[in-house]
Structure 1
Amino acid sequence: MLLYLLLPLVAIAMLMAPLIPVYAGITTGKKAKHAIWFNLCAFGGLILLMLILPLGGFVSAAAADGVAGALSTGEGIKYLGAALATGLSCIGAGVAVGNAAPAAIGACSEDPKAFGKAMIFVVMGEGIAIYGLVISFMILFT
């Protein structure tokens, strides 16, 4: 029983951990060099909450009618495929825009007439995310 009381408190403390370097930066004026550890701690807190809530019976996937097995394995794989299509395409779009946008800004600073040509490459990177979203809709609704 004590486990059900302490684990949510630990998870909340882990979720609040990224605020420590922010507060330290405000009070001392120094930037946080090791903030990644606090962000990983918050991620761990989220994972811990995702484990606690179903175990404690706070969240239930079953409806009140008792339809616990409503999703088949095929439905679950369909949702997993849609999530992977969207997520991985958005990661690819982020990489593409992350590489194209600084080059576009540099090109525009040297020659302002190159704005239209530079924007085309940035928009092409964003198109990857839209294609992934379209594929996930095709997976879900067919």
Structure 2
Amino acid sequence: MNYVLFILPIAALIVTVFLTLRAVKNGKKVKSAVITQLAAFAIVCAVTVAVPVVANAATDEPANATTSAANDGTNVGKEGMGLLAAALVTSLSGVGGGIAVAAAAPAAIGATAEDPKSFGKSLIFVALGEGIALYGLLISILILNKI
């Protein structure tokens, strides 16, 4: 059952990407195709989250029997939320760092081309953008240690 829950969302996303690329080849506007792809991705994510919750509620048993026995059922969802928080911190800080580096690196190259002495100052701004991603990774490691 666990393999099915892992393979089905991946297969659904591959199918939606294929259908989006085919729609763009057939003349559909790229913007509407991307919006359709994002909507399909959101639906797959919602189903991926909802199916295990419904299956767990149908069995009337906690997801982790040892955790519920030790804590009397008070911290059953702590591990899942911790993993979700760590994933969100890592992904969002990575995207933010990528945006910062994408803006700072071309400006640093241009400044260095005009004045080679400004290389050190420019490099600091690029490193600050990369630091955002490293801070997010550090926070996710701290979250995973608390679980």
Task: Report TM bin, short chain.
Answer: 0.5 to 0.7
Distance 1:129 1:55, change over 3 A: closer
Contact 1:104 1:118 in 2 (8 A): yes
Matched, 1:36 2:53: no
Give the match for residue 16 of structure 1.
Answer: 18
TM-score by length of 2: 0.60
User: What number of residue pairs does the alignment pair up?
Assistant: 121
Query: The residue matched to 2:63 in structure 1 has which SS?
Result: coil
Contact 1:92 1:129 in 2 (8 A): yes
Give the percent of matched residue pairs that are identical in Structure 1 and Structure 2: 40
Give the match for residue 95 of structure 1.
Answer: 99
Q: Distance in 2 between matches of 1:119 and 1:139?
A: 30
Contact 1:11 1:48 in 2 (8 A): no
1:139 to 130, 137, 143: 143
Unaligned runs of 5+ in 2: 1-11, 68-75
Deviation of residue 89 (structure 1)? 1.7
Contact 1:15 1:41 in 2 (8 A): no
Unaligned runs of 5+ in 1: 1-9, 26-31
Matched, 1:69 2:63: yes
Q: Distance in 2 between matches of 1:24 and 1:109?
A: 44
Give the match for residue 114 of structure 1.
Answer: 118
Deviation of residue 108 (structure 1)? 1.7
Deviation of residue 95 (structure 1)? 3.0
Q: Distance in 1 between matches of 2:85 and 2:62?
A: 22
Deviation of residue 113 (structure 1)? 3.5
Contact 1:17 1:39 in 2 (8 A): no
Q: 1:21-65 deviations in whole A, cap 9, x for unaligned?
A: 76469xxxxxx9x422212222233334445678899xxx88xxx
Deviation of residue 17 (structure 1)? 3.8
Q: 1:50-92 deviations in whole A, cap 9, x for unaligned?
A: 45678899xxx88xxxx86127221122122212321232232
